[in-house]
Amino acid sequence: MPNSETLNASVDLYRQILEDFIPFHQILGLKLVDVKPNLVIVTIPFKPELIGDPIKRAIHGGVLASVMDAAGGAAGLTTMKSFNDKLSTIDLRIDFLQPGKGEDIICEASIVRSGSRVIFTRMICYNVSKPTEIIAEGRGVYSVRRHSAV
Amino acid sequence: MPNSETLNASVDLYRQILEDFIPFHQILGLKLVDVKPNLVIVTIPFKPELIGDPIKRAIHGGVLASVMDAAGGAAGLTTMKSFNDKLSTIDLRIDFLQPGKGEDIICEASIVRSGSRVIFTRMICYNVSKPTEIIAEGRGVYSVRRHSAV
Amino acid sequence: MPNSETLNASVDLYRQILEDFIPFHQILGLKLVDVKPNLVIVTIPFKPELIGDPIKRAIHGGVLASVMDAAGGAAGLTTMKSFNDKLSTIDLRIDFLQPGKGEDIICEASIVRSGSRVIFTRMICYNVSKPTEIIAEGRGVYSVRRHSAV
Amino acid sequence: MPNSETLNASVDLYRQILEDFIPFHQILGLKLVDVKPNLVIVTIPFKPELIGDPIKRAIHGGVLASVMDAAGGAAGLTTMKSFNDKLSTIDLRIDFLQPGKGEDIICEASIVRSGSRVIFTRMICYNVSKPTEIIAEGRGVYSVRRHSAV
């Protein structure tokens, strides 16, 4: 059974949660790339069903919002000490800096501040072929109920 | 061929754009409910693949963000006079007020302010069985390039 | 000494808090107009020192942000049952819909959702001579630590 | 008369605009620290009138919002080529990460993306004695009307 250290770091555990446990992530095809304390990287491989603008072949803004919420929440999870802790999204904000091409998306989520009750995260999305060109940036704020670790 | 009046109001045209033209909306199962000048109402019928929290059976936050971006953009479209006008999302913000149940979602998007270059929209989501209990509220800001109608 | 009912409604108490207790409100000249459960209305009478754009004689965006944070926090206060409850701003978002004229500003803040740990508020600002023309809209999210009322 | 290069960089010009030209900045006591292309740093020296929470002696959230709007707008100005270009704030969002102490505030604003019509900026605020402890982060989105430089 996973303990608080695996909660803080285990790639396998996060893969299971993100890829298998959450139905909507399967529709998106979301895959975990890496997880470390305070950092989660995921990818959504391109498929035509994710397109929001068929003329530009750009990924739907809602796909970017979805992957940001997923990665931000998982980053929040890495700050937790117990499986009894609860996390829920308070709000999510996305700036669409430029259209995403029809290509795999990478999303990196990191912790900006992890408090006793509120976690602030920052997310960036970019196309896999151009890691320096951010296509969207996001902010997620999460409510956390922390319990003393046993 | 649609003219500026159909652009402003036609249910058939908006159905075609929202339901058939945009691939990601088909994955979501998004359906148009109604369209009027400055107002668009859409629904996402419940299906298990949209779940984000299997324990609470709550809809994924990314689904709510997606339907808000879709409805907000379509509301913006109703302010346009020409098919040459271009609309793109600048930013999107979602407040998650309470978990959405495993049930059809309705999203209403309306225009807060439609300027010559920027459109502000407001979106609310609720479960079809409880229209007075808002589960999420959003704001979308869109950049618009308006051309003189011919 | 004020009890939980005055905390919920007393105009005098809120006037004291908003107008006398908070130094920055005195610089702004902020005045309470009305307070009811879940609703606070304040005003900032125009003075030239509040101008942010001398050419348009428009109020500074920071003045609008300040009055929104003040009114939103006070609206949050009306949901509290005890003076031991603590409120702090998590985040604040302002949409600037149109420039405010050189004129008194009214700001109305209302509760969107008041949960056990998080309060969502909505704020609107308008010039006193044109109540139907919103110049800025805002959202404030507040963290609240509620204690059992004695 | 200033040309497009001074618009892009001159400390004196930005000092004049930020410190002398905008009345509300004089109330705040806002001072320019540095300006470079895509980056503006300003400070607000502490004074008791800026306090928002007399018990914690914390700076008012509206002061932080004001300095962010000021610095973000000035950063946007550094992307302009002509004094005929116009800049206006579309929206502003602030995350309050921790209370600011009763101490001078530094605000750094940088350009996230500068497009032909929309500029995205990022702002951070910290107390002068602890530059690594961000007390608030912000996002400003600005509408810009660019003219060809003569």
Q: Kind of pairing, strands C39-44 and C105-114?
A: antiparallel
φ/ψ (deg, to 5) at C110: -135, 160
ipTM given for this complex: 0.93
DSSP one-letter string for chain D: ---HHHHHH-HHHHHIIIIII-HHHHHHT-EEEEEETTEEEEEE---GGGEEETTTTEEPHHHHHHHHHHHHHHHHHTT-S-TT-EEEEEEEEEEE-SPPPSS-EEEEEEEEEE-SSEEEEEEEEEETT-TTSEEEEEEEEEEEE-----
Mutate: best of B92, B96, B113, B117, partner C, most C CBs <10 A: B113
How many Å lie between the alpha carbon of B148 and the closest alpha carbon of chain A?
Answer: 22
Buried b (16+ CB within 10 A) or exposed e, B79-108: bbbeeebebbbbbbbbbbbebbbbbbbbbb
**Residue, of D2 and C46, whose pLDDT is higher:** C46
How many Å lie between the alpha carbon of C14 and the closest alpha carbon of chain B?
Answer: 27
d(CA C105, CA C129): 9
Check: CB of residue C127 under 8 Å from CB of residue C105. Answer: yes
At residue D100, the pLDDT reads 83
Tokens 């296509």 — which residue? A135
How many Å lie between the alpha carbon of A85 and the closest alpha carbon of chain D?
Answer: 21
pLDDT category of residue D102 using cuts at 50, 70 and 90:
confident
Tokens of D114: 């500068």
Domains of chain D: 4-145 (3.10.129.10)
Question: What integer is the mean pLDDT of D45-67?
Answer: 95
- What is the distance, to the nearest Å, from the Cα of residue C85 to the centroid of all Cα atoms in its chain? 18
What does the pLDDT look like over A68-110, one tens digit per residue?
Answer: 999 999 999 999 988 788 999 999 999 999 988 889 999 999 9
**Cβ distance of C93 and A93 shorter than 8 Å:** yes
**Cβ distance of A21 and B93 shorter than 8 Å:** no
Tell me which residue in B97, B113, B141 faces C112 most closely, judged by beta carbons: B97
Single out the residue of D34, D30, D32 nearest to residue D9, CA to CA: D34
3-state secondary structure chain C: CCCHHHHHHCHHHHHHHHHHHCHHHHHHCCEEEEEECCEEEEEECCCHHHEEECCCCEECHHHHHHHHHHHHHHHHHCCCCCCCCEEEEEEEEEEECCCCCCCCEEEEEEEEEECCCEEEEEEEEEECCCCCCEEEEEEEEEEEECCCCC
At residue A1, the pLDDT reads 43
Tell me which residue in B51, B65, B90 faces A69 most closely, judged by beta carbons: B65
pTM for the model: 0.94
Mutate: best of B18, B87, B96, partner A, most A CBs <10 A: B96
How big is chain C, counted in residues? 150
DSSP one-letter string for B91-134: EEEEEE-SPPPSS-EEEEEEEEEE-SSEEEEEEEEEETT-TTSE
Single out the residue of B65, D92, B98 nearest to residue A68, CA to CA: B65
At residue B81, the pLDDT reads 87
At residue B150, the pLDDT reads 36
Single out the residue of D78, D81, D64, D77 nearest to residue D123, CA to CA: D64
Residue of D nearest to B139 (CA): D91
pLDDT category of residue D42 using cuts at 50, 70 and 90:
very high
Buried b (16+ CB within 10 A) or exposed e, C20-44: eebbbbebbbbebeebeebbbbbbb
Taking all residues of chain B, what is their mean pLDDT, rounded to a whole number? 92
pLDDT category of residue D38 using cuts at 50, 70 and 90:
very high
Residue of C nearest to B113 (CA): C97
Chain B residues with CB inside 8 Å of D117's CB? 117, 143, 145
Tell me which residue in C27, C69, C90 faces D65 most closely, judged by beta carbons: C69
pLDDT above 90 (res A147) = no
- What is the distance, to the nearest Å, from the Cα of residue C135 to the centroid of all Cα atoms in its chain? 15
**Cβ distance of C24 and D52 shorter than 8 Å:** yes
Residue of D nearest to B91 (CA): D141
**Cβ distance of C143 and A93 shorter than 8 Å:** no
What H or E segment, with its residue span, contains residue B8?
helix B4-9
At residue A149, the pLDDT reads 43
Buried b (16+ CB within 10 A) or exposed e, A51-74: bbbeeebbbbbbbbbbbbbbbbbb
In three-state secondary structure terms, A89 is: strand
pLDDT category of residue D7 using cuts at 50, 70 and 90:
low
At residue B148, the pLDDT reads 58
Contacts of C among chains (3+ CB pairs under 8 A): A, B, D
Tell me which residue in A95, A113, A141 faces D120 most closely, judged by beta carbons: A95
Percent of chain A surpassing pLDDT 70: 92
Per-run averaged pLDDT (10 residues), chain C, 150 residues: 61 95 97 96 97 93 98 96 89 95 95 97 97 97 79
Q: Kind of pairing, strands A39-44 and A31-36?
A: antiparallel
Count of C–D CB contacts within 8 Å? Answer: 121
Biggest distance spanned by C-alpha atoms of chain A? 55
Question: What integer is the mean pLDDT of B101-120?
Answer: 96
Tokens 């702090």 — which residue? C88
Count of A–B CB contacts within 8 Å? Answer: 121
AA identity, residue D57: R
Single out the residue of A113, A16, A114, A31 nearest to residue A71, CA to CA: A31
Dihedral of alpha carbons C46, C49, C52, C54, sign: positive
d(CA B7, CA B16): 12
